Each structure stands twice: as C-alpha cells, then as structure tokens.
Amino acid sequence: MNNIETFATMVAGIGLFFSGIKILSSSMKNLASQKLRLLIAKWTQNPFLAAFWGFASGAITQSSSNTIFILVGLVHGRLISVRNSLPVIIWSNVGTTLLIFLVAFNLKLAILILVGFGGIFYGFDKGSRRETMYNALFGISILLFGFQLLKSGSQPFAQMEFIRGMFLYSKDSFIVSVLIGIFLRLIIHSSATIAVLIMTLSHAGLIGLDQVILMIVSMSFGEAIVLGLMSSNLKGVSKQIIIFKVIESVSTSLLLLIVLSVEFHWDIPIIRQLISLSSSNIEQQTAFAFLIFRTAPVLFLSFLYNPIYTLLVRLSPPTSEEDLSKTSFISEQSLSDITTALILAENEQVRIFERFARSIDNVRTEEGVELVLDFTVIHNSNIFLLKEIDLYLKRIINSNLSRSNSEVYVLLQNRQTLLKSIDETIFNFVSMIDSHQITDGLNNLIQNSTESLHVNFITALEATNSKEQFDIEILLQITQDKGPLMEQVRKFHLSDSQMIKPADKSFLLDMTDHYQRTVWLLNSWTKTIRPELEE
Amino acid sequence: MKVVESDEKLVRISFSGKLDSAYVSNNDIKFFALLNGIEAPVVLDFLEVSFLGSLGIRMILMGLKEVQRQGFTLKIANAGPNIRNVFEMTSLGDLLI
C-alpha cells in the first residue's frame, strides 16, 4: 500500500465511521423523542430500571452527553426528578462501552454481512414502521466497517517516520498523554468514538498501554469543560444534572489518575496490571480500560446519591421560574375523586390569575410598589402551569362526569382559554411599556392605564374568591366595554402633535388596544363567576 | 384623613396627598373604623388629593361596600381632573362622582 492509498483508506474509514455514528444517533434520537422518553419517565422511579435505562440509552446513543441532554429535557419538563435521574446518568456511561467491545473483537466477516443486509434494508425501506430500526442497523454496520478500514489503513500509516516521531514524543510523558485525552474529548463529542480512535492508534503501535489508559482516563476533564460550555445558559434544576455529570467525570478521572500515579511511580500492580492481564490484545485491553473507567463511578457514587443530591440543590437551587411552575394543588393522586379534582384544578387556575396583578407591578410608577417577580418569569411559568392544567383536565374528561361536574368542567375549560389569552395580553402590555422610552405626553395615560388594570385584577381576584354579589357587580362595572373611551383617548393624543412624538403613535395604538382587550377578557372572566353565585 | 362634618344628614371625610399603597397600608383600618356604624350618607372630599393609585381605589370600593351594607350611599366630591381621569378609566365615575 503506497502513502496515497494508505491515506485514502484511512480517510474513507474515518468518513464511514462518523457517518455511521451520525445515522445511528439520529435514528435513536427519533426513538428517544417518542416512546423512550415516556418510558424513561415512568421507569426511573425504580432505581434498578433506571440503571437499565441508563445503560440502554448509553449503548444506543453511544454518548453519555446525549443522555445528559435528554435528561435535562425530561427534568425541565417535570417528567422525572433530578434524584431519579442520577442512576440513569451513571449507568449510561457503562452503556457506551458496548460498542467498544464490538469494535475490539475481530468480526470482519460478520461486519461485511451486516453492511450488506443493513444496506439492503436501509435502501429498500420506504417509510415503514421499522424504518428507525433499519436506519440504526445500517448506522452500526457502516460504523463498524469504517473502523475496519481505518484499522487496515493505520498500520502502514504508523510506519511513516514523521508519525512515529510525533507519538514517540508523547510516549514517555504522563502529562502529554493526559493533555491529548482532554484535547480529543474537546473536539469529539462521543467518548466511545475517542476510545475507538485510541484503539486505532494502539493497534498501529503508535501508543502503548500506559498512554491508552491515561488518554481514556483524562478525557473526562475535556467532557466536563464541554458540558460546562454547553450548559452555560441553563439554571436551577436543569443545571443540577450537568453539575452531577461534571462531579462524576472529574472525581472519577482524578481518583483514577491518583491510583495510576501510585502504580506508575512505585510499580505497585493495580489498574494497569489488571488491564494488561485482561487480554494480550491491545485493542481488547483498550476496551477493558474504557470499561473500568466507565464502571468506576457506579462503584463509588451509587452509595452517595442522597448527599450528592443535597449538594446539587445547594449549588444550583430551583429558579423562581421553576418554583412558580410547580403545581400546588393538582396531582396524579387527586384524580381518583373527580369532584375534588375539579376543585383543585380551579384553585390552580386562581393561582395563575393572582399573578397578573404582580406582572403589572413591573410597570407601575407609584412609589413604594414592591417588585417581587419579573413579568417574563411569571409569563413563562404561567405557560408551563397552564399546560399542566390542560393535561389534568384531559384526564378528568376521560372519566365519567356527573351533570354538575360536567358544568364545572365546562366552566374550568372556559377559564383555561381566558387565562391563556389574559396571560399573553398582559405579557405584551407590560413588555411594550417596559421597553418603550416613555415621553412626558404619555406619562399620565400610562400611569392611569396601569393603575386601572391593577385595580381591575385585584377586584377580579376578590370577586373570584368571595363570589359575593357586590364584588361581582363592581367587577362588571369596571370591566365595561372600553372601546368608546379608548377611541377618545387615541383621537385626543393623536390630534395633538406637541403632546406626542411620531415614534409614540404606534405605541399608543398598541398599548390602548391591549388595555381594551385585557378589560374585555376580564369582563368575560366575571361571567365565569356568576353561575356559581346563581347556584 | 379626617371627619370634617358628621350629622344626621351627612358624614364628610376629607383626604389629602397621595392615596397610594403606603397611604392605604397606614390608613385603611382607620378609614373602615370611621365608616363603621354611620347613620348618614358619606361624602369623601378629594379636594387635596393629588394621586389615586389602584389600592386607593380598592379601599374606596371596600368603603362603598361597607356603607351600602349599612343602607347608605358613598360619593366623592371635589375631585381634580387627574383623579377624574382615573375614575373615567375605571368606569367608576357614574358610581362614585
């Protein structure tokens, strides 16, 4: 094999290998986004099933980082708790070793047959139900075939003088091997992929077992850096998952590096000795090194889940948005009694309703207004909570409802629609005032509008809770149609060019429109209080 | 806030300054105590009121509820243009002025 042929074979091998990884990951992501997510959510309540799912997820996606970001999504969506996800994270590491063992053993004939059948299924399938499975099969076969090509091209490559010289430089250096491990993990997303590349280098005789072990052990430092960068926008509970992964990666690497230092320095047989005894083949030794490295956290972190979880909560406490997004009344258990479930759903809705006045506080100019919550935080948590109530109400409608419960259900559905509209309108109203450079000509109008809407909301909340005739009548009075009044306001301000600047005109129209709409929505809300009063 | 007139025909209470959150939290108990056990219609004199905030409006509405419960009326007198605008925005002008 001449130099060009060697180079071409390796490039082809690398290309096929990465294509295989991509096909496999994307087909598995489809699966993960549909059924796997729901199953993980349900099964993680059992620690053994959680461990199994972690292993399966790592084995399928071939990246513990992929599992991490799936878990972040599940935790953010409240499908699983951080505490229940810890075994999944630990065991997903172990799952990633499966591919390495497949690669480490010489399965040339089996791989060729797999490529043949994988390609036929992949090529001839036209959107059948098994499409994801065929894609995954083809991805695995391409990946393994690519590795075979890479291996065959790497032997003559390793004989080249300058390549030998480059790796010889790192051969006797503990630090250089560690840095190579970190660097590889920074540029390649999958630890398993790096292990395979290291295997190729060792197969070609470019690096020895010591370097293999050091590179594998130290790549977690790189993973910690990557996770830190990728999660810089995360906060609160979602970030707890990332912090755990960083703690796990760094502590495992540090611990193993200390043990290896002792072993190398004093020549005491510990990990290196164990790996060298596992097989005489350097590729299989690499696979065992990877297995030990990935299994170590299971051994020492499995007993520390509770204290680690306490630490995670202290390091990254829930954000106010996460706190506000938690349901206070509705729960899975309360669905057993429909009458109670409906009362709880109503209480949850009122909890959202009482936040609207606090959103308006963000733009009230009155002195002494205590601003407790940012309107964007309120809006985001309301959206989440409204979805939770939607799901809860869907569960209720699936059961047999009595006539009186059906009436309450319809009322709650109407309120749900109103809450969504009010939330959106108030968010827009507050946003536009918050972001607009208010000129003197509009100062009074904005102050009167915000104070007026504020009193509307606190009166509506009182009427909703008390259901008293007086409160409801006052609410109906103050939520009368504001159309004619807003028309007057617009004409008055727009006709006086000294009072209003050109840039304020569209703001004035939008603001008065949102004001009018909010009052109209509140009037509709008032009508959802009446039936209970009449009863 | 003080009672400037109280007989069998009218109870007149005058307010001054800003009726904002701070004012309400310091004076609402006194206000409701004044309205408790009245024996005549109530007039709130707003001649010296410079600002009316949402909690001020709410306090007046609660006062109205208390006065109506006792069978009397509550009205606002001498409100300046700014205060009238607030009542106009809240559609309470017809009810209170």
Q: What is the pLDDT of residues A85-128, one digit of tens each?
A: 899 889 988 888 887 887 777 667 777 888 888 888 888 877 67
* Count of CA atoms in the C-beta half-sphere (13 A) of A42: 5
Strands B11-19 and B2-6: antiparallel
pLDDT for the residue A160: 66
Q: Do A451 and B52 touch (CB under 8 A)?
A: yes
Q: Across-strand partners of B6? A: B11
pLDDT for the residue A534: 45
Rg (CA), chain B: 12
User: Nearest residue of B to residue A480 by CA position?
Assistant: B91
Q: Which tops the pLDDT comparison, B4 or A448? A: A448
Q: Hey, which residues 26-45 in chain B have their CB within 8 Å of chain A?
A: none
Which of B26, B89, B91 to mutate to probe the A interface, most A CBs <10 Å?
B89
Length of chain B equals 97
Q: What is the pLDDT of residues A485-503, one digit of tens each?
A: 999 999 988 887 777 788 7
Q: Do A451 and B57 touch (CB under 8 A)?
A: yes
User: How is chain B split into domains, by residue range?
Assistant: 2-96
Has residue A32 got a pLDDT over 60? no
Which residues of B are less than 8 Å from A449 in CB distance?
Answer: 89
For residue A51, what are the contacts with CB-CB under 8 A and spacing of at least 6? Answer: A87, A88, A90, A91
At CB < 8 A and 24+ separation, what contacts does A242-245 make? A242/A68, A242/A72, A243/A312, A243/A315, A243/A316, A244/A82, A244/A86, A244/A89, A244/A308, A244/A312, A245/A64, A245/A68, A245/A89
Distance CA A388, CA A372 (A): 24
Instruction: Place A512 in a pLDDT band, splitting at 50, 70 and 90.
Output: very high
Residue in the structure block whose two tokens are 């006086």: A496
Has residue B57 got a pLDDT over 90? yes
Which residues of A are less than 8 Å from B22 in CB distance?
Answer: 367-368
Q: Do A368 and B89 touch (CB under 8 A)?
A: no
Q: Do A448 and B57 touch (CB under 8 A)?
A: no
Which of A452, A453, A493 to mutate to probe the B interface, most B CBs <10 Å?
A452
What percent of chain A lies above the pLDDT cut of 70?
Answer: 89
Residues A102 and A230: beta-carbon distance below 8 Å: no
Cα angle at A138 between A140 and A121, to 5 degrees? 150
Q: Hey, is the C-beta of B88 within 8 angstroms of any chain A C-beta?
A: yes
Q: Sign of torsion, CA B61 B62 B66 B69?
A: positive
Which residues of A are less than 8 Å from B92 in CB distance?
Answer: 477-478
Q: Do B54 and A452 touch (CB under 8 A)?
A: yes
User: Nearest residue of A to residue B85 by CA position?
Assistant: A448
Most confident range (mean pLDDT) of A70-74, A440-444, A516-520 is: A516-520
Q: Hey, is the C-beta of A415 within 8 angstroms of any chain B C-beta?
A: no
Nearest to A195 by CA among A283, A296, A64: A283
pLDDT for the residue A322: 85
Which residues of B are less than 8 Å from A458 in CB distance?
Answer: 54-55, 58
Q: Hey, is the C-beta of A302 within 8 angstroms of any chain B C-beta?
A: no
What's the CATH number of domain B2-96, 3.30.750.24, 1.25.40.10, 3.20.20.140, 3.90.1210.10?
3.30.750.24
User: Nearest residue of B to residue A515 by CA position?
Assistant: B89
Nearest to A445 by CA among A530, A508, A361: A508
Q: Hey, which residues 479-518 in chain A have their CB within 8 Å of chain B?
A: 479-480, 482, 485
Distance CA A352, CA A334 (A): 19
Which residues of A are less than 8 Å from B52 in CB distance?
Answer: 451
Q: Which alpha helices (DSSP H) does A267-355 contain, by range?
A: 271-278, 282-301, 305-315, 320-325, 338-353
Q: Is A399 in a helix, a strand, or coil?
A: coil
Has residue A533 got a pLDDT over 60? no
- Mean pLDDT score, A34-43: 64
User: Nearest residue of A to residue B20 by CA position?
Assistant: A366
C-alpha pair distances (Å), A60 with each of A63, A104, A137, A232, A373: 8, 17, 11, 27, 43
Q: Do B61 and A448 touch (CB under 8 A)?
A: no
- Helix A82-95 and helix A236-266: axis angle, to 10°? 40
Distance CA A19, CA A427 (A): 45
Nearest to A168 by CA among A206, A210, A218: A206
A181 phi, psi to nearest 5 deg: -60, -45
User: Nearest residue of B to residue A484 by CA position?
Assistant: B89
Q: What is the pLDDT of residues A164-182, one digit of tens each?
A: 666 667 677 788 888 888 8
Residue in the structure block whose two tokens are 């791989």: A111
pLDDT for the residue A294: 87
Which of B19, B27, B49, B54 to mutate to probe the A interface, most A CBs <10 Å?
B54
Which residues of A are less than 8 Å from B68 in CB distance?
Answer: 470
Secondary structure (DSSP) of chain B: -EEEEESSS-EEEEEEEEESHHHHHHHHHHHHHHHTT--S-EEEEEEEEEEE-HHHHHHHHHHHHHHHHTT--EEEES--HHHHHHHHHTT-HHHH-
Has residue A11 got a pLDDT over 60? yes
Residues A528 and A418: beta-carbon distance below 8 Å: yes
Which residues of A are less than 8 Å from B20 in CB distance?
Answer: 366-368
Nearest Cβ partner of B86 from A452, A480, A485?
A: A452
Q: How far apart are the first and last CA of chain A?
A: 92
Q: Do B85 and A444 touch (CB under 8 A)?
A: yes
How far is C-alpha B46 from the geometric centre of its chain's CA atoms? 8
Which of B27, B50, B91, B96 to mutate to probe the A interface, most A CBs <10 Å?
B91
Q: What is the pLDDT of residues A118-137, one digit of tens each?
A: 888 888 877 677 777 788 78
Q: What is the pLDDT of residues A430-487, one digit of tens each?
A: 999 999 887 777 888 999 999 999 999 999 999 999 999 999 999 999 999 999 999 9
Q: What is the pLDDT of residues A341-390, one digit of tens each?
A: 999 999 999 999 999 999 999 999 877 677 778 999 999 999 989 998 99
Q: How close does chain B come to A331, measured CA to CA in Å? A: 35
C-alpha pair distances (Å), A357 with each of A317, A348, A369, B56: 26, 16, 12, 15
Rg (CA), chain A: 31
User: Nearest residue of A to residue B56 by CA position?
Assistant: A455
The whole-model pTM stands at 0.67
DSSP state of A319: P
Q: Is A342 left (phi over 0), alpha (psi -120 to 50) or beta?
A: alpha
At CB < 8 A and 24+ separation, what contacts does A427-431 make? A427/A359, A427/A375, A427/A376, A427/A379, A428/A514, A429/A453, A429/A511, A429/A514, A429/A515, A429/A518, A430/A359, A430/A360, A430/A362, A430/A363, A430/A375, A431/A375
Distance CA A14, CA A145 (A): 10
Q: Hey, which residues 39-78 in chain B have their CB within 8 Å of chain A?
A: 51-55, 57-58, 61, 64-65, 68
Q: Sign of torsion, CA A2 A8 A11 A13?
A: negative
Distance CA A268, CA A253 (A): 19
User: Nearest residue of A to residue B95 by CA position?
Assistant: A477
User: Nearest residue of B to residue A476 by CA position?
Assistant: B91
Give the distance between the most distant pair of CA atoms in chain A: 95
Q: What is the pLDDT of residues A179-233, one digit of tens each?
A: 888 888 887 766 777 888 888 888 888 888 888 999 999 988 988 888 888 777 7
At CB < 8 A and 24+ separation, what contacts does A528-534 make? A528/A411, A528/A414, A528/A415, A528/A418, A529/A463, A529/A464, A529/A467, A529/A472, A529/A475, A530/A472, A531/A407, A531/A411, A532/A411, A532/A467, A533/A467, A533/A469, A533/A472
Structure tokens at B32: 């409701």
